[in-house]
């Protein structure tokens, strides 16, 4: 069943048509974080969508039925400066009518060793890693079925990033998950599909078995995603045989890679 | 189990509010009774300066609250379950609550003061001519201006200074016109118009 329907949304001079279904985990990836953030603000119902995005047939903009079932967090931002679970519970209950599982929150603080991720200065603050972990613990402890998260593995080491990626893609807990990813490798085989935001402003829906092209930058490229090392560019691979032959003819080095190898090829040469 | 219920009851927002108001009323009564003789024949101190200071606190608090709702916690609240309409009406509700509490306290003050001072002037006349009605409207007006300033992303220090200047200017202007009813009605109309403007801004502002 459709959770959100996007019909003819004019986004960056592109018409976007998309159906996000229940029990789907969707990844979003691209270098243009401003465009992605703009898109997420529309999908989360925070900004206007010119009557193109719907939940149960109703426009999602400022829709209280839609809002009560979703949260939109950017793990780079600070949402709490305290680990006082009773204080947090009271705030979520009183301000937002959300139930907060203090027991689960306490377990996660211990398991993820969040108390070690603090800096003691004039104020008690979390490190960037600590802030990501706290935000994740908040999301996990809230009783919300639909989540939109930006930068879920921001500054995390691989062990904790894997833990978080497993938790956030748990379909037994969440109905619909939309993740703006910093890194794809932690989410291998955990996503239903990916939305790639290209530098040209296109949004491409790709499956897990689609491929990318790591290639020396040139004028014949389209659907560029991110810069690689040196003059390499990683782009979505929808090039036909003739186009690839042209690259061979012009002695432009390239390599076809899997979607989830993108992070590795950001830092290596061909 | 019983302890939890008792704890929740004692921590209840409305109970604490009622207790605080009772304490304020008792303190006001003491102040009125004790200060009556001090004020007698004193041309500088108005007998209503004490209640005006309550309104002043409400104005300062309302300004800070209105500004923080739009400048600091608007995006935060939208990330969770609160819609733009909820934010606007919750803000308005809280400001109206503060105004109502200030009004109840000032009414009680006027009643107590009239009793001990044996004053027979109708309370609504006292409200208008002593500037209490204007102060009440200023609480609403300055809170809504603070709310507006948060949306235009004004620096907080500049916003608070401007709010104080605006509030002081309105007070002096209306006081100059002897706190006339027409001046108060104009201020009330401004409050309603500003409330409408704030609502439109809340609906239209784009979050980045």
A contacts of B78 (beta carbons < 8 Å): 46, 72
Chain B: give the shortest CA distance to residue A67, in Å: 5
Check: CB of residue A164 under 8 Å from CB of residue A136.
yes
Q: Is pLDDT above 70 for B1?
A: no
pLDDT tens digits, one per residue of B39-81: 555 555 566 777 888 888 888 889 889 999 998 899 999 999 9
Q: Is pLDDT above 90 for B82?
A: yes
**Residue of A41, A80, A81 for testing the chain B interface, max B β-carbons within 10 Å:** A41
A contacts of B76 (beta carbons < 8 Å): 79
The predicted pLDDT at position B153 comes to 81
The predicted pLDDT at position A109 comes to 93
Separation between Cα atoms, residue A136 and residue A156, nearest integer Å: 11
pLDDT tens digits, one per residue of B95-113: 999 899 888 888 888 888 8
Bridge partners, A178 (sequence order): A26, A148
**Residue of B7, B13, B79, B201 for testing the chain A interface, max A β-carbons within 10 Å:** B79
| Residues across chain A | 270
Chain B: give the shortest CA distance to residue A135, in Å: 13
A contacts of B203 (beta carbons < 8 Å): 62
**What averages of pLDDT result for each successive group of 10 residues across chain A (270 residues)?**
90 89 94 94 95 93 94 94 90 90 94 85 80 95 95 93 95 95 92 93 91 91 89 92 93 92 81
The predicted pLDDT at position B175 comes to 74
Give me the residue spans of the domains in chain B.
22-33+48-204
Separation between Cα atoms, residue A60 and residue A58, nearest integer Å: 6
Say yes or no: A96 contacts chain B, CB-CB below 8 A.
yes
Chain A: give the shortest CA distance to residue B80, in Å: 5
Chain A: give the shortest CA distance to residue B3, in Å: 17
Separation between Cα atoms, residue B54 and residue B164, nearest integer Å: 16
pLDDT over 70, % of chain B: 91
Instruction: Find the CB nearest A64 among B79, B83, B207.
Output: B83
Going B63 to A124 to A149 to A264, the CA torsion angle's sign is positive
Q: Is pLDDT above 80 for B3?
A: no
Helix and strand counts by DSSP (H, E) for chain B: 9, 0
Say yes or no: A99 contacts chain B, CB-CB below 8 A.
no
Query: pTM of this prediction?
Result: 0.86
Place B36 in a pLDDT band, splitting at 50, 70 and 90.
low
Say yes or no: A178 contacts chain B, CB-CB below 8 A.
no
Say yes or no: B206 contacts chain A, CB-CB below 8 A.
yes
Domains, chain A, ordered by start = 2-81+143-197 (3.40.50.300), 209-265 (no CATH)
The predicted pLDDT at position A118 comes to 81
Chain A residues 44-73 within an 8 A CB cutoff of chain B: 44, 46-48, 62-64, 67-68, 71-73
The predicted pLDDT at position A161 comes to 95
Instruction: Find the CB nearest A72 among B79, B84, B206.
Output: B79
A contacts of B208 (beta carbons < 8 Å): 37, 41
Separation between Cα atoms, residue A225 and residue A28, nearest integer Å: 12
What does the DSSP assignment read for A93-161? Answer: IIII---B-HHHHHHHHHHTTGGGSEEESSSEEE-HHHHHHHHHHHHHHB--SEEEEESTTTT--HHHH
More confident of the two residues B176 and A36? A36
User: A55 by DSSP, 3-state: which?
Assistant: strand
User: A82 by DSSP, 3-state: which?
Assistant: coil
The predicted pLDDT at position B159 comes to 84
> Which residue do the tokens 């090039």 mark?
A239
The predicted pLDDT at position B37 comes to 59
B contacts of A90 (beta carbons < 8 Å): none
Query: How far is C-alpha A229 from the chain's CA centre?
Result: 23
Query: What is chain A's mean pLDDT, rounded?
Result: 92
The predicted pLDDT at position B41 comes to 54
Nearest CA in chain B to A64: B83
What does the DSSP assignment read for A174-224? Answer: -SEEEEE-S-SGGGTTT-SEEEEE-TTS-EEEE-TT-EEEEEE--TT--SE
Instruction: Find the CB nearest A96 among B81, B85, B206.
Output: B81
A contacts of B77 (beta carbons < 8 Å): 95-96
Instruction: Find the CB nearest A67 among B81, B203, B207.
Output: B81
A contacts of B85 (beta carbons < 8 Å): 62, 64
């Amino acid at each position: 069943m459709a959770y959100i329907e996007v019909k003819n949304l004019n986004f960056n001079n592109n018409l976007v048509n998309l159906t996000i279904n229940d029990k789907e985990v969707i990844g979003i990836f691209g270098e243009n974080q401003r465009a992605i953030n703009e898109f997420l603000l529309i999908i989360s119902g925070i900004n206007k969508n010119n009557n193109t995005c719907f939940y149960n047939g109703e426009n999602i903009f400022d829709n209280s039925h839609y809002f009560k079932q979703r949260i939109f967090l950017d793990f780079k931002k600070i949402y709490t400066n305290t680990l006082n679970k009773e204080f947090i519970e009271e705030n979520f209950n009183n301000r937002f009518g959300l139930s907060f599982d203090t027991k689960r929150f306490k377990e996660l603080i211990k398991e993820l060793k969040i108390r070690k991720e603090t800096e003691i200065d004039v104020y008690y603050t979390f490190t960037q890693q600590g802030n990501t972990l706290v935000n994740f613990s908040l999301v996990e402890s809230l009783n919300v079925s639909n989540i939109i998260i930006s930068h879920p593995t921001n500054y995390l080491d691989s062990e904790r990033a894997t833990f978080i990626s497993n938790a956030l893609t748990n379909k037994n807990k969440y109905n619909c998950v939309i993740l703006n990813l910093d890194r794809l490798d932690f989410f291998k085989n955990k996503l239903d599909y990916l939305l790639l935001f290209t530098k040209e402003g296109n949004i491409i829906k790709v499956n897990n078995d689609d491929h990318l092209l790591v290639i020396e930058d040139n004028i014949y490229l389209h659907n560029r995603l991110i810069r690689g090392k040196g003059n390499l560019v990683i782009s979505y691979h929808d090039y036909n045989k003739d186009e690839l032959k042209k690259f061979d003819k012009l002695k432009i080095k390239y390599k076809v890679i899997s979607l989830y190898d993108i992070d590795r090829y950001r830092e290596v040469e061909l | 189990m019983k302890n939890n219920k008792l704890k929740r009851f004692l921590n209840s927002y409305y109970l604490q509010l009622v207790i605080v108001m009772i304490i304020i009323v008792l303190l006001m009564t003491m102040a009125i009774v004790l200060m009556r003789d001090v004020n007698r024949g004193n041309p500088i101190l108005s007998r209503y300066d004490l209640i005006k200071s309550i309104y002043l606190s409400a104005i300062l608090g309302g300004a800070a609250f209105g500004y923080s709702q739009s400048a600091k916690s608007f995006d935060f609240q939208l990330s969770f379950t609160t819609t733009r309409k909820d934010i606007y009406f919750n803000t308005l509700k809280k400001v109206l609550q503060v105004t109502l509490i200030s009004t109840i306290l000032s009414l009680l003050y006027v009643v107590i003061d009239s009793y001990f001072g044996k004053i027979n002037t109708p309370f609504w006349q006292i409200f208008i001519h002593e500037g209490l009605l204007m102060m009440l409207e200023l609480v609403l007006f300055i809170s809504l201006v603070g709310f507006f300033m948060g949306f235009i992303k004004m620096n907080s220090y500049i916003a608070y200074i401007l709010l104080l200047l605006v509030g002081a200017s309105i007070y002096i202007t209306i006081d100059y016109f002897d706190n006339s009813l027409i001046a108060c009605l104009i201020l009330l109309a401004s409050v309603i118009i500003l409330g409408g403007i704030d609502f439109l801004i809340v609906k239209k502002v784009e979050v980045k």
